[in-house]
Structures are given as structure tokens and as C-alpha cells.
Amino acid sequence: MSGVVGYARTFLIGGSYKAEPLETMADEIIRFHSLLDDVARHLANGSPLAGIGEEQLLQGPFSDAMTHAGQLALLRRLAGVPMAPENFVFADIRHDHLGPDQPAPVAPDAMWPERL
């Protein structure tokens, strides 16, 4: 995920991005959220996109990141540690809340057969 978000950031700051291996998953989580926050900051400040339009950013790296999030949810379910299903129409999703501490589900599914 850091690779995808880092790649998206290159359209805002230039250069290239290669996610170097980190020692722990905790370090990776910090890196991911830092990159995500940096991309959001550049977008909020109106940083120009280099060589692509906003639609391409959405249809390219942002869609890729959303696909990977779904794949991770699927893999967690297969590993026996599923994420709680939630209706994301009602989720507490905010542009300024990009850190690892996310709010609890607002409208979780009442039926969750995979719950352990």
C-alpha cells in the first residue's frame, strides 16, 4: 500500500518512489499513514499534478489502493481474522482523519456470520 500511495505522491512532488523494506509492520503502518497524510496535504494545498489529471489520479493509483484494501480484507477473512463489515455510506470517513486510529464503525452489519 505504501508503494501505491508513494507512487501517487510522485505526481504531486515529482521524482520516483520505491518503498524500501522496513523492520516491523508497525514501522510500515507509520510510513503508510505519513505518505497518505502528505498526499492529502498536497491535494488540499492545490499542488499541481504533473502529467496527469485528477480523474487519472482517481482512476489510477487511488483506485489501485482501494482494490488492495479489498484484497487485504479478503485475505484477513481467509486467515480467520475478518474485519467487521460496515455500510460505508454511513461510515465516519473524513479527509482530515488519516492516521492509524480510526473511529469505530457507525453502521456495522447486524449479521456477521464470520465473527469469531
* Average pLDDT for runs of 10 along the chain of length 116: 96 95 95 96 96 95 94 91 82 87 80 64
Per-residue confidence (pLDDT) for residue 115, from 0 to 100: 60
Q: Is residue 28 part of a domain?
A: yes
The count of residues in the chain is 116
Q: Is residue 86 part of a domain?
A: no
pTM of the model: 0.83
Per-residue confidence (pLDDT) for residue 33, from 0 to 100: 95
Q: Is residue 110 part of a domain?
A: no
Q: Is residue 27 part of a domain?
A: yes
Contact assessment for residue 98 and residue 36, using Cβ atoms and an 8 Å cutoff: yes
Per-residue confidence (pLDDT) for residue 39, from 0 to 100: 97
97: left (phi over 0), alpha (psi -120 to 50) or beta: beta
Number of domains in the chain: 1
Per-residue confidence (pLDDT) for residue 106, from 0 to 100: 81
Q: Is residue 30 part of a domain?
A: yes
Cell numbers of 65, please? 489502493
Containing structural domain, residue 41: 2-78
Q: Is residue 69 part of a domain?
A: yes
Q: Is residue 91 part of a domain?
A: no
